[in-house]
């Protein structure tokens, strides 16, 4: 028996009913999965980080990431379709920014979680904890 499974099968009907009542529609989870799919690429994550610092044009992002403008544009298109970023045209340039504060908070929370995990793993490896 796996340590990830109950040793006996017992459905807690009151808990199941409570959670099932609060469960959003399947389409909501489809949208959520698509959001995380868009976030699930290191290049797109780097773009979001750069845009969390400041509004940037495609050329600036390409330079920061050391990528071609066309490769960056492709990633920006995916992020825009996921409603994570928005753009504005100024003359011949197109500038991008995070779509809203929800995106900023989502990204900040994710980054904070990863950094916390990373720091905690480093501490465990460095301090020879025995469990």
pTM here is: 0.77
What domains can be seen in the chain, in order of their start residue?
A: 30-111 (1.10.10.10)
Cβ contact 38:82 at 8 Å: yes
Q: Is 86 left (phi over 0), alpha (psi -120 to 50) or beta?
A: beta
Neighbouring-strand partners of residue 96: 56, 87
pLDDT in tens, 19-64: 999 999 999 999 999 999 999 999 999 999 999 999 999 999 999 9
pLDDT in tens, 54-76: 999 999 999 999 999 999 999 99
Q: What does the alpha-carbon distance between residue 110 and residue 46 come to, in Å, rounded to a whole number?
A: 13
CA distances from 88 to 95, 116, 117 (A): 5, 34, 36
């Amino acid at each position: 028996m796996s340590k990830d499974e109950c040793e006996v099968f017992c459905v807690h009907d009151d808990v199941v009913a409570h959670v099932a009542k609060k469960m959003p529609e399947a389409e909501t989870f489809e949208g959520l999965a698509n959001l995380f799919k868009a976030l699930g690429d290191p290049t797109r994550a780097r773009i979001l980080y750069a845009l969390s610092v400041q509004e940037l044009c495609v050329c600036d992002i390409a330079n920061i990431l050391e990528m071609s403008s066309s490769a960056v544009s492709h990633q920006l298109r995916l992020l825009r379709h996921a409603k994570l970023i928005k753009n504005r045209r100024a003359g011949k340039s197109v500038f991008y920014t995070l779509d809203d504060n929800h995106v900023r908070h989502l990204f900040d929370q994710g980054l904070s979680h990863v950094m916390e995990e990373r720091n905690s793993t480093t501490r465990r490896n460095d301090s020879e904890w025995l469990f």
